[in-house]
């Protein structure tokens, strides 16, 4: 691994709008590659002074190599931001930082391969698992994108290196030249419809993960939903080799940090991708057995009096929570926050696994109505501070051995993000144990 050449983008000008974690990293990376950067945000940015950095809004994009928008800023639906309209009018490409990374790697002369991973659920675990397996097999690799490090902040890899990029639908909409030799679409269920308009728009965005692929590449595709089925037909017409994720026909392996059938699907996807990247079954098994799991994703954070506390704060929709409930026989379930479209109706097949629910957050009453309709007992705990000890005490009085935080909701009514929510859950668990 090495740094990109300091003159890679010398004399080029880039506009960056949105200076959160991702945008700030893009600015610093572009400056390190010799570019002139014009950056701004609705809030006062806190970036260090640089001779090639201008921190001020601009009304003319003429001469810009590209406009990089933070992922949350719409360039199309539901309504384009005015700067996106200006970019189109002046023929300035609107790029994601993953696209910019691809262009930078090729411009620097490296033929490192790219793996892109997307899906409504499971993409972070799949990205982290594949990266871990590559690392244990001593393959030069770097992971980023929607998971952790901004794509453009990753180091320059040699020709034999592999970039593993987790792609959100927002990032995928802004790809142009990006070419993945291996691309994976795990699943598609309704999400981000406020941004994409409807399922057709959301599916269209996800489908970009397979753009620019050739018959030498491999697409890995879920097979549990009609949207993935339609994309499989499209890949056939394009003569792109693809494999369907099959969790029922895996070789023997050990992966204690990855419980549940949904994780078998993630493992099956990783197995196919790792094979295509040249790894053998021994390499894959070795990485699986040592994988520590990811924070906030079915993460067992404590055990006290024989009761396990599981942090699945990343479950921000009902589909993700269904995977969690399916992984345990009986649970004390902590749920709630800002509900997604459809609430928790799709969880009805797993309601018999809920001994008692402890509801928190803005849409607790919506969940209460659904649980009442289906005869599931619950308490209106309102906050995690109340819900966790209440769930623990009720578990001690029963034969239930798992307290599960899997909210099926966004977190921004009470927390900054799902990480903040999960970390607070861990704090409460530690307090109970002390």
C-alpha 220/C-alpha 124 separation (Å) is: 16
What 27-31 contacts at long range (C-beta under 8 Å, 24+ apart), as own/partner pairs, is 27/53, 28/153, 29/4, 29/97, 29/150, 29/152, 29/153, 30/100, 30/152
Angle at 373 between CA 367 and CA 378, to 5 degrees: 50
Question: Which contiguous run of DSSP H or E holds residue 136?
Answer: helix 123-136
Beta strands in 281-394 (DSSP E): 299-304, 307-311, 331-336, 338-339, 354-360, 378-382
Phi, psi (rounded to 5 degrees) for 356: -160, 140
Enter the tokens of residue 396: 């001690």
C-alpha 263/C-alpha 256 separation (Å) is: 11
Residue 124 is assigned to a ligand binding site: yes
Residue 260 is assigned to a ligand binding site: no
C-alpha 40/C-alpha 307 separation (Å) is: 49
Residue 161 is assigned to a ligand binding site: no
C-alpha 150/C-alpha 167 separation (Å) is: 11
Residue 125 is assigned to a ligand binding site: yes
What is the SS3 string spanning 208-276? HHHCCCCCCCEEEECCCCHHHHHHHHHHHHHCCCEEECCCCCCCCCCCCCCCCHHHHHHHHHHHHHHHH
Residue 321 is assigned to a ligand binding site: no
Residue 361 is assigned to a ligand binding site: no
C-alpha 10/C-alpha 295 separation (Å) is: 39
Angle at 97 between CA 91 and CA 103, to 5 degrees: 75
Phi, psi (rounded to 5 degrees) for 287: -65, -40
Question: Most distant CA pair in the chain: distance in Å?
Answer: 69
Residue 121 is assigned to a ligand binding site: yes
Q: Residue positions in the annotated binding site?
A: 119-125
Q: Residue positions in the annotated binding site for ATP?
A: 119-125
């Amino acid at each position: 691994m090495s740094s990109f050449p300091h003159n890679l983008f010398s004399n080029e000008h880039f506009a960056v709008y949105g200076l959160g974690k991702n945008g700030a990293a893009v600015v610093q990376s572009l400056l390190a590659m010799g570019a002139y950067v014009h950056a701004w945000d609705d809030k006062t940015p806190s970036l260090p002074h640089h001779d090639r950095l201008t921190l001020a809004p601009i009304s003319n994009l003429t001469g810009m190599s590209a406009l990089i928008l933070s992922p949350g800023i719409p360039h199309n639906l539901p309504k384009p931001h005015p700067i996106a309209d200006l970019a189109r009018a002046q023929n300035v490409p609107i790029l994601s930082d993953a696209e910019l990374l691809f262009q930078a790697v090729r411009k620097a002369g490296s033929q490192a391969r790219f793996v892109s991973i997307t899906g409504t659920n499971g993409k972070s675990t799949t990205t982290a698992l594949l990266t871990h397996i590559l690392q244990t097999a001593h393959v030069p690799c770097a992971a980023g994108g929607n998971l952790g490090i901004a794509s453009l902040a990753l180091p320059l890899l040699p020709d034999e290196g592999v970039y593993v990029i987790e792609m959100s639908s927002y990032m995928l909409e802004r790809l142009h030249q990006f070419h993945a030799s291996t691309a994976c679409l795990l699943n598609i269920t309704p999400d981000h419809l406020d941004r994409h308009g409807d399922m057709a728009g959301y599916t269209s965005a996800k489908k970009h993960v397979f753009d620019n692929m050739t018959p030498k590449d491999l697409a890995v595709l879920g097979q549990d939903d009609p949207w993935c089925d339609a994309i499989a037909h499209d890949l056939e017409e394009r003569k792109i080799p693809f494999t369907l994720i099959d969790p029922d026909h895996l070789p023997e392996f050990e992966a204690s940090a990855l419980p549940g059938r949904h994780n078998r699907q993630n493992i099956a996807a990783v197995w196919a991708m790792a094979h295509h990247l040249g790894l053998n079954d021994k390499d894959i098994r070795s990485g699986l057995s040592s994988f520590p799991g990811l924070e906030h994703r079915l993460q067992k954070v404590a055990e006290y009096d024989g009761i396990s506390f599981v942090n699945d704060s990343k479950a921000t929709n009902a589909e993700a929570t269904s995977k969690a409930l399916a992984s345990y026989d009986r649970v004390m379930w902590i749920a709630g926050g800002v509900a997604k479209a459809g609430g928790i109706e799709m969880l009805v097949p797993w309601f018999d696994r809920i001994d008692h629910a402890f509801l928190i957050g803005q849409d607790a009453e919506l969940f209460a109505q659904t649980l009442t309709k289906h005869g599931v007992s619950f308490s209106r705990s309102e906050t995690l501070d109340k819900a966790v000890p209440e769930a623990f005490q009720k578990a001690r009085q029963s034969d239930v051995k798992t307290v599960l935080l899997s909210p099926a909701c966004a977190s921004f009514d009470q927390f900054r993000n799902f990480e903040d929510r999960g970390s607070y859950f861990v704090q409460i668990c530690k307090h109970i144990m002390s």
